Amino acid sequence: MRVELLAVMLVLSSGAIAQDWGKFSSPLNVELMKTNRDIRLLQDFTYTGPRPGKLFWLAPKDTISDGASIPKVAWGVVGGPLDGQYRQAAIIHDVACVKRTRSWQDTHRAFYTGMRAAGIGETQAKVMYGAVYHFGPRWAEPEFVKIPRIRKATFDTEFAQFKAALPPGKEAELISDGRVISRTVSDGLFTSESIDEVVGAVVEVREVQPPATQAAFDKMRSEIERSNPSLDEIEKLPVSNL
């Protein structure tokens, strides 16, 4: 009994029980295209994420992938977005960033766990996760806001104020400028004024695509390599201030 207990303790201490990072289907069959780095899948390729969710991700046969979902500022880490062990996770990530059936946060997390499932070391995977989280694609269901009736003469100013009041990470675009109506309003007991007003103007509020600079990425990479933060901590890094 003691011998068996000792054996179990040795297994645990040696890290022989591997963490669950999910699993790719195999093999990955691709065709190199005539363009610089495009590849085409010759059969379906899938990734099932780790427990508890075990999210299923599909890259269908005939998918064309170029690794474009990986920010260019991070390519130097891997040599190329579809090189070596990164290829499997990058293909799944590419397709998910186009389909957008799940949130951008879940999609980037799957890129991290996919890299680990493919054998990428913790630090390198965290650097690449930071790259896609802070500089990679973002999306959300757009929110459409109808702007209240505004005087035509002040419309541009009030729309600019509306945009300025949006929370960080949001931007707005005028998608319908409505129509102009004229009406008479009272200025007092005996006076009135004819004014033009804009009604029915609609704004689309959406996620901002974050800017990616080599300097910002390099600083973030240095911080991750120095402090080995958790994924939650990586997400909270003030990248613009690093």
Does 5 have pLDDT greater than 90? no
Taking alpha carbons only, the member of 106, 104, 70 closest to residue 90 is: 70
pLDDT in tens, 67-103: 889 999 998 887 776 777 889 999 999 999 999 999 9
Integer Cα distance of 208 and 177 in angstroms: 22
- Quick one: pLDDT at residue 13? 44
Residues 6+ apart with CB under 8 A from 148: none
On whether the CB atoms of residues 198 and 149 are closer than 8 A, the answer is yes
Percentage of the chain exceeding pLDDT 90:
64
- Count CB neighbours of 20 within 10 A: 14
Whether the predicted model's global pTM rises above the 0.85 cut: no
Measured CA to CA in angstroms, residue 198 lies from 98, 145, 159 at distances of 37, 14, 11
Integer Cα distance of 238 and 242 in angstroms: 6
Does 12 have pLDDT greater than 60? no
Taking alpha carbons only, the member of 212, 194, 174 closest to residue 71 is: 212
Domain parsing of the chain, residue ranges: 15-138+211-241, 143-207
- Of 59 and 79, which is predicted with more confidence? 59
pLDDT in tens, 148-196: 999 999 999 999 999 999 988 889 999 999 999 998 888 777 788 889 9
